[in-house]
């Protein structure tokens, strides 16, 4: 038996020491809906944003973690390296990110007939992929 989901989406936690810039990117540039913040056990704060039915959690520990994620996106290391949103406005999102000063590491590229991707980098160096289908 597999997992018995109660929600047809995931929650994704992104740990940062740079909350203002991360909120500017995810809330203001990408337009995620801010749900509020809360204190977290062990010290720190979690900012909760909705991306469709998925919750993106910007987590700010009270003590900075001893390490940061390896840079370089997909080829930089093993483990979680990027995440994908299926969008209907890929051109608009890439333009907003570019105009906001965020690096576009993969410009809009057709990967199959009717399917395109683009990848941008958030303020902490995490890769975010836009997927456009049909």
120 C-beta neighbours (distance < 10 Å), count: 24
Nearest Cα to Cα of residue 131 among 81, 84, 92:
84
- Residues 106-125: tens digit of each pLDDT: 999 999 999 999 999 999 99
- Could you report the per-residue pLDDT of 26-80, keeping only the tens digit for each? 999 999 999 999 999 989 999 999 999 999 999 999 999 999 888 889 999 999 9
């Amino acid at each position: 038996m597999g997992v018995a989901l109660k929600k047809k989406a995931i929650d994704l936690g992104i740990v940062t020491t740079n909350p203002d810039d991360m909120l500017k990117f995810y809330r203001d540039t990408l337009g995620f809906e801010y749900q509020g913040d809360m204190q977290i056990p062990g010290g720190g704060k979690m900012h909760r944003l909705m991306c469709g039915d998925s919750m993106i959690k910007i987590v700010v520990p009270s003590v900075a973690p001893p390490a940061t994620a390896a840079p370089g996106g997909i080829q930089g290391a093993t483990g979680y390296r990027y995440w994908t949103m299926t969008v209907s406005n890929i051109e608009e999102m890439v333009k907003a990110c570019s105009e906001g000063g965020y690096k576009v590491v993969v410009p809009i590229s057709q990967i199959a007939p009717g399917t395109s991707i683009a990848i941008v980098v958030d303020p902490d160096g995490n890769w975010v992929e836009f997927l456009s289908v049909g």
